[in-house]
Amino acid sequence: MGQEITLPEHIKVIIWDGFWTRQDAIDNPDKLFLFGGNILQDCLLAHRPYVPSLTQAVIRGLPNACSIETKLTNGTMFNAYFTDEDVELFKYYLLKRTYSIGVWFGREEKFKVLVIPSRENGIGTGTAFLKQKAPKCWELLQEFLAPLYERAEGQKEVPTFYSYPYGRPDTPMDEYRDGKEFLNG
């Protein structure tokens, strides 16, 4: 499977009840906030991010904000959303984010808390409609988030933050597109 990425014992995971504001993240620089984002704004145009006013992504561009890509682009056109045909691309971005989060908490002392939205206002809900538009991607996202919610709810002391469940981060993108089997290592 590969090297395990774990959240250190001293790192807390908390569930943010309700909706956060940009000021909430600014006021909590020791917390890393996870939010649902899109590939265009959070990966390709990260140097000039569009910051919406009504979604989780209101914190986009802040040094303590980390997106989990749940849409291809912003907007509501049919091609803005992931579909189950995009499951390999979704796995690729989920893997990259899994690796990034593990590195941030493994190497930097800056963050003491990982903040995740409540399940009701969770990543992939809202404008992404991930459950409705891409059920396979939604299931992978739930698999990714489950240990975080379990840790926040006190069901696990120190969960493993994945052993590269969808492949290794150094796997070329072409292998993902060609249907490489991720879940079996």
Q: Which residue has the tokens 């299931």?
A: 139
- Positive or negative, the CA dihedral 94, 96, 102, 108 is negative
Q: Token pair of 119, please?
A: 């399940």
Q: Which amino acid is at 178?
A: D
| pTM of the entire predicted model | 0.76
pLDDT at 22 over 50: yes
For position 9, what pLDDT does the model report? 75
More confident residue, 44 or 72: 72
Contacts 24+ apart (CB under 8 A), 148-151: 148/13, 148/34, 148/114, 148/116, 149/13, 149/15, 149/116, 149/119, 151/7, 151/13
pLDDT-derived band at 10 (thresholds 50, 70, 90) equals confident
pLDDT at 169 over 60: no
The rounded mean pLDDT for the chain is: 77
pLDDT at 16 over 90: yes
